[in-house]
């Protein structure tokens, strides 16, 4: 492991960095993927026909806020060398607003929308900031490995949160409690685990960047310069376009998995929680193994393999009429999920100028959050326009993976790295 680290970086610091992925994965697993999304539609929206669209629209609003602010927050972090401080604020915000979701009972749409938007905004901002530390911690030829360690540990964190919630839900249902009673407890558990697991990050992760006072206070001007110079970093820009497409498909799967399982496959809450628990194990393994593969066959071929896997998953889900094929498809998605996101983060680390990491990772975050609007909204609209045909909606959403593959073919990492180092 030590041979993968940049000069002056310790194993403890890498562990502390990866623990943030461990901490925040519980949020996406419990709130976005497995528990609160289905609760929002069935309980908060009281089963109304517009519930799924309300959920995807709420996520879209939160991601739009991240899109508007990510490049500016990144530019400010680079200018002032305050990535770690901003990361702390984002973590505290996510913890507080996640816990506040416990107040969202039946019919409390406004409360649920408000705190989902705020918590997801803080989560997205934190994702961008923690990713910007990666090139400072790992050597260029080990970005895939180290990124994979982070994603792998992240999925273990998701397992811990999901396992805690699964245990509580099983007990609560045995006591005759309803979702309106046990889901609020689950969100508090998730918030507490986030706070506890992220503590090592703020104790041991170092802020290595130096302030750049010449650009302090000029975030808008700096962002405008980034856009003007897009031609110089054309491979990065092409990859960001690729990211928008393939992440749109991933975002749809993540945010609508529990809803699809319930509406199409007839899964119970416990069935869905168990499925996602197993998928998180698969995802953790996939993130580490594909991270190792990235550094041997290259980031682009590895990402291409995962996108082909996503296409296979879409086809299997479309064909699935029983639980066996659906379970197989879900585990293929898990295997590809961590790997595709880990590869994407590593590629951005290669293509971003070393002195402007937070700024360019902010652009990456912008691309990811734009995809998080496009994917779920495409699914939601397709389902609504087709009269609730979730299979057709999934098939249409899968086209994003095809477009992503085509765009990936135009990216040249060697050329992009040279541009980053000379820019």
Q: What is the tally of structural domains in the chain?
A: 1
Q: Look at residue 64 and tell me whether its pLDDT is greater than 80.
A: yes
- In the beta sheet, which residues pair with residue 138? 5
Going by pLDDT thresholds of 50, 70 and 90, the confidence category of residue 65 is: very high
Three-state DSSP class for residue 5:
strand
Distance CA 101, CA 54 (A): 16
> Is residue 363 within 8 Å of 70, Cβ to Cβ?
yes
Largest CA distance in the chain: 64
> Which among 17, 8, 31 has a CA at the least distance from the CA of 115?
31
> Is residue 44 within 8 Å of 112, Cβ to Cβ?
yes
What pLDDT does 222 receive? 65
> Is residue 77 within 8 Å of 90, Cβ to Cβ?
no
> Which among 195, 18, 357 has a CA at the least distance from the CA of 9?
18
Question: Which residues in 299-325 are b (16+ Cβ under 10 Å) and which e?
Answer: bbebbbbbbebbbbbbebbeebeeeee
> Which among 255, 422, 246 has a CA at the least distance from the CA of 344?
246
> Which among 173, 180, 233, 198 has a CA at the least distance from the CA of 40?
180
In a domain, 1, yes or no: no
In a domain, 94, yes or no: yes
| Residue of higher predicted confidence among 292 and 189 | 189
Distance CA 370, CA 278 (A): 28
Q: Look at residue 410 and tell me whether its pLDDT is greater than 60.
A: yes
Task: DSSP letter for 172, please.
Answer: H
In a domain, 96, yes or no: yes
In a domain, 290, yes or no: yes
What pLDDT does 311 receive? 94
Helices (H), 205-233: 219-228
> Is residue 165 within 8 Å of 35, Cβ to Cβ?
yes
For residue 273, CA distances in Å to 47, 106, 158, 187 come to 20, 21, 12, 14
What pLDDT does 262 receive? 78
Distance CA 122, CA 114 (A): 13
Full DSSP string of 268-337: -HHHHHHHHHHHHHHHHHHHHHHHHHHHHH-HHHHHHHHHHHHHHHHHHHHH--SHHHHHHHHHHHHHHH
In a domain, 133, yes or no: yes
What pLDDT does 230 receive? 63
> Is residue 307 within 8 Å of 340, Cβ to Cβ?
yes
Domain at 280, CATH number? 1.20.1250.20
> Is residue 135 within 8 Å of 360, Cβ to Cβ?
no
- In the beta sheet, which residues pair with residue 5? 138
Q: Look at residue 214 and tell me whether its pLDDT is greater than 80.
A: no
Distance CA 351, CA 421 (A): 9
> Which among 159, 137, 163 has a CA at the least distance from the CA of 149?
137
| Residue of higher predicted confidence among 79 and 347 | 347
Residues ≥6 apart with Cβ < 8 Å to 266: none
Distance CA 228, CA 221 (A): 11
Distance CA 268, CA 237 (A): 43
Going by pLDDT thresholds of 50, 70 and 90, the confidence category of residue 19 is: very high
In a domain, 3, yes or no: no
What pLDDT does 220 receive? 62
Q: Look at residue 309 and tell me whether its pLDDT is greater than 90.
A: yes
**pLDDT tens-digit profile of 256-275?**
888 888 778 888 777 888 88
Q: Look at residue 246 and tell me whether its pLDDT is greater than 90.
A: yes
In a domain, 213, yes or no: no
Residue 354 sits in which domain range? 8-207+220-422
In a domain, 2, yes or no: no
Helices (H), 138-231: 143-174, 179-204, 219-228
Q: Look at residue 117 and tell me whether its pLDDT is greater than 70.
A: yes
Phi, psi of 5 (to 5 degrees): -95, 150
Express as a percent the part of the chain with pLDDT over 70.
Answer: 94
| Residue of higher predicted confidence among 310 and 254 | 310
The segment with the largest mean pLDDT, out of 96-110, 138-152, 173-187, 353-367, is 96-110
């Amino acid at each position: 492991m030590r041979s993968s680290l940049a000069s002056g970086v310790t194993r403890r610091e890498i562990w502390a960095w990866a623990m943030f992925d461990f901490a925040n994965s519980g949020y996406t697993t419990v709130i976005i993927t497995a528990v609160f999304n289905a609760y929002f539609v069935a309980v908060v929206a009281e089963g109304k026909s517009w519930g799924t669209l309300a959920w995807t629209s709420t996520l879209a609003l939160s991601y739009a806020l991240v899109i508007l602010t990510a490049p500016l927050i990144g530019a400010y972090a680079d200018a002032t060398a305050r990535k770690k401080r901003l990361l702390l604020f984002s973590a505290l915000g996510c913890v507080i607003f996640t816990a506040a979701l416990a107040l969202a009972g039946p019919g409390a749409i406004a409360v649920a929308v408000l705190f989902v938007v705020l918590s997801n905004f803080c989560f997205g901002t934190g994702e961008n900031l923690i990713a910007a530390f990666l090139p400072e911690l790992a050597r260029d030829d080990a970005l895939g490995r180290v990124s994979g360690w982070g994603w792998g540990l992240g999925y273990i964190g998701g397992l811990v949160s999901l396992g805690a919630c699964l245990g509580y839900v099983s007990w609560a249902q045995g006591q005759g409690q309803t979702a309106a009673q046990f889901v609020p407890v689950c969100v508090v558990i998730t918030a507490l685990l986030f706070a506890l697991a992220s503590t090592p990050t703020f104790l041991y992760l170092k802020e290595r960047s130096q302030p750049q006072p010449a650009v302090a206070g000029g975030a808008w001007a700096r962002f405008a310069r980034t856009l003007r110079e897009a031609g110089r970093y054309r491979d990065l820009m092409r990859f960001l376009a690729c990211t928008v497409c393939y992440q749109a498909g991933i975002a749809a799967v993540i945010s609508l998995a529990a809803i699809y399982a319930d509406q199409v496959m007839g899964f119970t809450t416990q069935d869905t929680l168990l499925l996602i628990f197993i998928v998180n194990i698969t995802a953790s393994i996939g993130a580490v193994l594909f991270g190792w593969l990235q550094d041997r066959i290259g980031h682009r071929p590895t990402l291409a393999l995962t996108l082909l896997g996503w296409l296979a998953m879409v086809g299997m889900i479309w064909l699935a009429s029983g639980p066996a094929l659906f379970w197989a498809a879900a585990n293929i998605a898990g295997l590809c999920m961590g790997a595709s996101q880990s590869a994407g983060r590593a590629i951005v680390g290669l293509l971003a100028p070393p002195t402007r990491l937070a700024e360019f990772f902010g652009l990456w975050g912008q691309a990811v959050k734009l995809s998080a609007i496009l994917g779920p909204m495409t699914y939601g609209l397709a389902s609504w326009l087709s009269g609730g045909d979730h299979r057709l909606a999934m098939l249409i959403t899968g086209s994003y993976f095809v477009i992503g593959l085509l765009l990936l073919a135009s990216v040249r990492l060697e050329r992009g790295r040279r541009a980053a180092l000379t820019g």
